[in-house]
């Protein structure tokens, strides 16, 4: 076991490892690469802004993984840019607002998926015009109503996540 309060810059403490494991698990649950979870976990466990090199060194992952992971996490607003005078490297910190991250994730990963699902559906509907089968038309109506519901759902989810938690003030919406 590590020395309590270990601040050795190139060695993860027990608690850091646990936090990272938590996010690795979460990442896999939503279908993201393990490395993305590791990276976010590291940022989440660290108050100070970190650069690419830090991530590579502390997590022992490749430059490519770290670069792609950071870029993705930025793209969904899970990481915020931080400016450090006198350092050419880009630094980031973890975004801790669940709503912001969820919004980014939905916009980046879910919506495009839904959108091309809708396009696909439109094509199906077009083709179905010369299908004599009643069931086909009925089922196409069913999916149409599904996609409409899904479209309405996300703003509600976002608003829901923006609400204050059970016992805390959450000024950051």
Partner DNA sequence: TATTCTGTTCATTTTTCCTTGAACTCACTG
Partner DNA sequence: CAGTGAGTTCAAGGAAAAATGAACAGAATA
Residues 49-108 within binding reach of DNA (CB under 7 A): 51-53, 60-65, 67-71, 87-90
Q: How many residues bind its own copies (CB under 8 A)?
A: 55
What's the 3-state SS for the chain?
CCCCCCCCCCCCCHHHHHHHHHHHHHHHHCCCCHHHHHHHHHHHHCCCCEEHHHHHHHHCCCHHHHHHHHHHHHHCCCEEEECCCCCCCCEEEECCCHHHHHHHHHHHHHHHHHHHHHHHHHHHHHHHCCCCCHHHHHHHHHHHHHHHHHHHHHHHHHHHHHCCCCCCCCCCC
Q: If binding is defined by CB under 8 A, does position 11 make contact with its own copies?
A: no
Give 34 or 137: the residue with its C-beta nearer to DNA: 34
CB of 90 to DNA, least distance (A): 3
| Interacting partner of 141 out of its own copies, DNA, none (Cβ under 5 to 8 A depending on kind) | its own copies
Residues 15-44 within binding reach of DNA (CB under 7 A): 28, 31-36
Of residues 9, 10, 31, 85, which one binds its own copies by CB under 8 A?
31
Summarize as ranges the residues that interact with DNA (CB under 7 A): 28, 31-36, 51-53, 60-65, 67-71, 87-90
């Amino acid at each position: 076991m590590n020395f309590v309060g270990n601040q050795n810059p190139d060695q993860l403490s027990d608690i850091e490892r646990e936090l990272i494991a938590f996010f690795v698990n979460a990442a896999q649950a939503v279908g993201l690469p393990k490395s993305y979870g590791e990276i976010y976990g590291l940022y989440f466990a660290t108050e100070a802004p970190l650069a690419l090199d830090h991530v590579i060194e502390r997590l022992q992952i490749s430059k490519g993984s770290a670069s792609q992971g950071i870029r993705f996490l930025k793209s969904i607003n899970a990481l915020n840019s931080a400016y450090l005078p006198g350092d050419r490297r880009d630094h980031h910190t973890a975004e801790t607002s669940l709503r912001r991250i969820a919004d980014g994730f939905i916009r980046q990963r879910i919506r495009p998926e839904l959108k091309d699902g809708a396009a696909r559906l439109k094509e199906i509907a077009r083709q179905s015009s010369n299908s004599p089968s009643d069931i086909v038309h009925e089922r196409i109506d069913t999916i149409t109503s599904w996609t409409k519901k899904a479209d309405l759902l996300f703003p509600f989810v976002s608003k829901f996540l923006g609400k204050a938690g059970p016992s805390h003030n959450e000024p950051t919406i």
